[in-house]
Structure 1
Amino acid sequence: MIGRTKLLSHFCLKSSRSFSTTHEVRSKVAVLGASGGIGQPLSLLLKHSPLVTQLSLYDIAHTPGVAADLSHINTRAKVTGHVGPDQLKAALEGAQVVVIPAGVPRKPGMTRDDLFNTNASIVRDLAEAAAKYCPKAMIAIISNPVNSTVPIASEIFKKHNVYDPKRIFGVTTLDVVRANTFIAEAKGLDPKEVNVPVIGGHAGITIIPLISRCNPSVTFPNDKLDALTKRIQDAGTEVVKAKAGTGSATLSMAFAGARFAISLLEAINGKEVVECAFVKSDVTEATYFSTPLVLGKNGVEKNLGLGKLSDFEQNLVKSAIAELQSSIKKGESFVNK
């Protein structure tokens, strides 16, 4: 039988990671949108983590059933289910980490930006609740378009005078996971042993894999490098098309979301962890930007910046800035209109 910690590592973490349960902080994690296509498998992976002592599930429907189902799993996290706005306070109070996968999924022909009108309102309302009931929590936003929903959440926290840019994250981990996987496939490597930083944003040309900084080092001819970069940038559309109208990248996003949430919990427990995420930033002309971050007990401990880029990657950054600025402004304007 695979041991509990080993199985969690296999699900969510790089193979080099391990964690002790000896001196843990008691950690409540709230998942907002827990009954959906991302929320359910994400909650399952979090239930498996020994770092989670309370798993609080919220959605507008079906959460009691999801909570009852997960509560039968013999891991330490206590699971509670909460339904509707009246139960948001109970869902959020005392949470150290809040993960937000709530919203509608992409369908064929839709861009992430097409989701804006629906998901912007959802994230706004959930951020309002988090700002009221757990203002010091780490907020991990999965709901697309991330390039706009993170600024929305930030503006809401500002309105409540509880804004801390070190604690609000757009989860871009799936771009890293995809880059690791696709490069490993191309080079015949173990994907668990590949690590590629992905910077920028979380949509189309704003997704910038730094293949020149891949560990272990890899090289590709220019045409293959361009094709691989485009595949990483368009990987979400690849899944939407393959599912033929039945959904978007829910399982892989749940995997990536769990990895990031567990990294936050590791950091809260005193371990120095590096993850890429979309955060408030002065690294480029875009006021939010994803780069490798050192995570600590209070969120972002250090932004590691762009680092050394190839000429190809520098051009990708230049091409992404205008779109990022537009998406950021759209999110901020939604709150401040």
Structure 2
Amino acid sequence: MLARTALRAIPRRAFSTSAPRQTKVAVLGAGGGIGQPLSLLLKMDPLVSSLSLYDIRGAPGVAADISHVDVAGEVNGYPADKLEDALKGVEVVVIPAGVPRKPGMTRDDLFNTNASIVRDLAAAVSKTAPKAHILVISNPVNSTVPIVASVLEKAGTFDPARLFGVTTLDVVRASRFLSSLAGTDPKDTHVTVVGGHSGVTIVPLLSQTPQAKSVIANKETYEKLVNRIQYGGDEVVKAKDGAGSATLSMAFAAAKFTNSLLRALKGEKGIVVPSFVKSPLFEKEGVEFFSSNIELGPNGVAKIHGLGELSAEEQELVKAALPELQKNIEKGVKFAA
């Protein structure tokens, strides 16, 4: 009985539940390596009243399995030909659909397959749930978010405040990796990560994190930490030896961001998290989408924060990220066109 109680407590403590408002959420790609654990975590979130699980295969089975978990909340699974049914009445759509990264494969290698999947799902969301908030996980996020934006824009349903690229895994990794070096608790070690969601486009602002002072003081340690944050996904791909990429940590990060959004939608104030959104910060440099701290509100993005004071090293990291981001974004826009 003790073991069961402990297990039950873990996921529930991962989420804030300060008010009773509940929301209907859809997961598109629920049968995959990210989709299954993400669906379970969302089922455990008291703010999710109804969960619609969709995939080209496996979603009804995942739904049946998760529906047995003894927490409130309805779960329904939909097969490949029932996408519109899965999206009816949905307020938040989370998209982890796509193929996983394998050893030696970059995020760009995933582009052609995942870009087509995301484009088609975005068209369905635009048609059936045009007011839904869309959370894009499918890689490469730097390109798939502009694809979704282009599809919605063409359909006349694009609202920049309702489209998010989920970059929370970079934040989770940065907090975890830094805390292991600094000897601090990860939950109290908050690292803002800006830019994009791949390689050099990932820019951790360690100078703004008090726990990072000792790490920054050692140039070699600092550079190794930045590199690990930027390429942490490669560790998982290599360790899984061809069996997939980061799925469990990504599911946790996506559930964490989704919970932040749900709390904001019901009126909780002061929720500030990084996300890859349409942004004015580097528009003049040709970068229309950028991840930075955003304040969430009842309609989605309420405010986009600037980067604050950067160290000389961080200025160089941003400088290196911008041209790569510009290429990634243009690739997505051209594909959608």
Q: TM exceeds 0.5? A: yes
User: Helix, strand or coil: the match of 1:95?
Assistant: coil
| Aligned with residue 137 of structure 1, among 132, 136, 155 | 132
Aligned counterpart, 2:39: 43
> Structure 1 CA distance, aligned partners of 2:104 and 2:7?
43
> Structure 1 CA distance, aligned partners of 2:213 and 2:175?
11
Contact 1:174 1:252 survives alignment (8 Å):
yes
Instruction: Give 1:56 deviation, angstroms.
Output: 0.4
Instruction: Give 1:275 deviation, angstroms.
Output: 1.0
Instruction: Give 1:7 deviation, angstroms.
Output: 3.2
Aligned counterpart, 1:99: 94
Contact 2:274 2:292 survives alignment (8 Å):
yes
Give the unaligned 5+ runs of structure 1: none
Contact 1:71 1:79 survives alignment (8 Å):
yes
Instruction: Give 1:305 deviation, angstroms.
Output: 1.6
1:149 aligns with 2:144: yes
Aligned counterpart, 1:262: 259
| Aligned with residue 248 of structure 1, among 245, 259, 265 | 245
> Structure 2 CA distance, aligned partners of 1:159 and 1:60?
25
Instruction: Give 1:3 deviation, angstroms.
Output: 9.3
Q: Runs of at least 4 residues of structure 1 off by over 6 A?
A: none
Aligned counterpart, 1:228: 225
User: Helix, strand or coil: the match of 1:218?
Assistant: helix
Aligned counterpart, 2:299: 298
Contact 2:182 2:212 survives alignment (8 Å):
no
Aligned counterpart, 1:212: 207
Aligned counterpart, 2:10: 7
* Residues 67-216 of structure 1 mapped to structure 2, 5 A cutoff: 67-84=63-80, 86-216=81-211
User: Helix, strand or coil: the match of 1:53?
Assistant: strand
The residue identity in structure 2 corresponding to 1:205 is V
* Residues 28-67 of structure 1 mapped to structure 2, 5 A cutoff: 28-67=24-63
Instruction: Give 1:187 deviation, angstroms.
Output: 0.9
Aligned counterpart, 2:311: 310
Instruction: Give 1:219 deviation, angstroms.
Output: 3.1
Aligned counterpart, 1:282: 280
Contact 2:135 2:166 survives alignment (8 Å):
yes
The residue identity in structure 1 corresponding to 2:59 is T
> Structure 2 CA distance, aligned partners of 1:214 and 1:95?
37
User: Helix, strand or coil: the match of 1:208?
Assistant: strand
> Structure 2 CA distance, aligned partners of 1:297 and 1:8?
25
User: Helix, strand or coil: the match of 1:186?
Assistant: helix
Contact 1:196 1:215 survives alignment (8 Å):
no
User: Helix, strand or coil: the match of 1:155?
Assistant: helix
- With 114-123 and 265-274 compared, the bigger mean Cα shift is at 265-274
> Structure 1 CA distance, aligned partners of 2:160 and 2:19?
29
Instruction: Give 1:215 deviation, angstroms.
Output: 4.7
The residue identity in structure 1 corresponding to 2:93 is V
Aligned counterpart, 1:326: 327
> Structure 1 CA distance, aligned partners of 2:163 and 2:152?
9
TM-score (norm: length of structure 2) = 0.94
Instruction: Give 1:93 deviation, angstroms.
Output: 1.4
Q: 1:70 to 1:117 in 2, by over 3 A?
A: same
User: Helix, strand or coil: the match of 1:282?
Assistant: strand
User: Helix, strand or coil: the match of 1:283?
Assistant: strand
> Structure 2 CA distance, aligned partners of 1:233 and 1:181?
13
> Structure 1 CA distance, aligned partners of 2:208 and 2:135?
26
Contact 1:21 1:50 survives alignment (8 Å):
no
Instruction: Give 1:216 deviation, angstroms.
Output: 4.1
Contact 2:182 2:214 survives alignment (8 Å):
no
Count, aligned residues: 327
Instruction: Give 1:8 deviation, angstroms.
Output: 3.4
Instruction: Give 1:326 deviation, angstroms.
Output: 0.3
> Structure 2 CA distance, aligned partners of 1:7 and 1:78?
21
Contact 2:170 2:193 survives alignment (8 Å):
yes
User: Helix, strand or coil: the match of 1:106?
Assistant: coil
Q: 1:215 to 1:135 in 2, by over 3 A?
A: farther
Contact 1:201 1:207 survives alignment (8 Å):
yes
